[in-house]
Amino acid sequence: MREENCSCARRFADINDLGPLRQILERYRGERGALIPMLQDAQEAYGYLDEKIMRELAKGSGYQLSQLYGVATFYTQFRLKPIGEHLIRVCHGTACHVAGAEQISEEIYNFLGIRDGETTEDGQFTVESVMCVGACSLSPIMIVDEDTHGKLRPSDVRKVLKRYMRDGGGKEDE
C-alpha cells in the first residue's frame, strides 16, 4: 500500500491558477531561445499544456500561439491533454520488443481497459508506448512514474499495477 505523502504522486497547479505561469514567464522574460524550457516548465507546473495556458504563454512571451503549438506537437515530451495520477510507459525498443513488450502492453490494456495514449476514467493511470529507455538488459521494461520494472512477464503486470492503485488493488497480495 502506498503512503499518501509518496514523492511519486503528482501534484499539479490548478489550470485556473495563473500564479505559476506568471513566475515562468518572468523567469524567461527577454530570453531568446527559451521556448522549449518555458514549455517544459509550464507542463511541469500544470501537468499538461492546456489551451488556456498556451494562450497565456503566447501573450506573455512574445511567441506566436502557432509557434508554441508547433513545438508542443512536434516533440513527444509535451502533452496537450491531462495525464493520470500514474504514468505507465512501456518500452517498445528493439530489445524490449523481442523480449515481449507487445504482450506486456496487451496485459496493461486488458487490465486497465484503456489503450496506448489513453487515461483510465478514474484518472489514475495513463499508458504510453515509448521507444528505448536505455536499459536493454532489463527488457521488457515498464516504467510507472519513476519506478522501473524490468524483466517482466505478462503475469507480472497486474501485480505491479495493483501496487499503484488507490485502494491497493483489492485483497490479492503479491
Q: How far is CA 33 from the centre of its chain?
A: 25
What distance in Å separates the CA atoms of residue 100 and residue 56, rounded to the nearest whole number?
Answer: 44
Is the CB of residue 37 less than 8 Å from the CB of residue 13?
Answer: no
Contacts (Cβ under 8 Å, ≥6 apart) of 110: none
What's the pLDDT at 4?
A: 37
Quote the Cα angle for 87-17-11, to 5°. 30
What's the pLDDT at 167?
A: 66
What's the pLDDT at 10?
A: 57
Please give the average per-residue pLDDT across 58-79, as a whole number: 94
pLDDT digit string, tens, across residues 79-122: 999 889 999 999 999 999 999 999 999 999 999 999 999 999 99
Please list the residues that pair with 119 across neighbouring strands: 126
What distance in Å separates the CA atoms of residue 58 and residue 120, rounded to the nearest whole number?
Answer: 31
DSSP 118-173: -B-TTSSEEEEEES--S-GGG-S-EEETTEEE-S--HHHHHHHHHTTSTTTTSS--
- pTM listed for this prediction: 0.73
Contacts (Cβ under 8 Å, ≥6 apart) of 146: 8
Q: How far is CA 19 from the centre of its chain?
A: 23
pLDDT digit string, tens, across residues 119-166: 999 999 999 999 999 999 999 999 999 999 999 999 999 999 999 997
From residue 41, alpha-carbon distances to 22, 59, 91 in Å are: 11, 16, 25
Q: Is 99 exposed, middle or buried (0-12, 13-18, 19+ CB in 10 A)?
A: buried
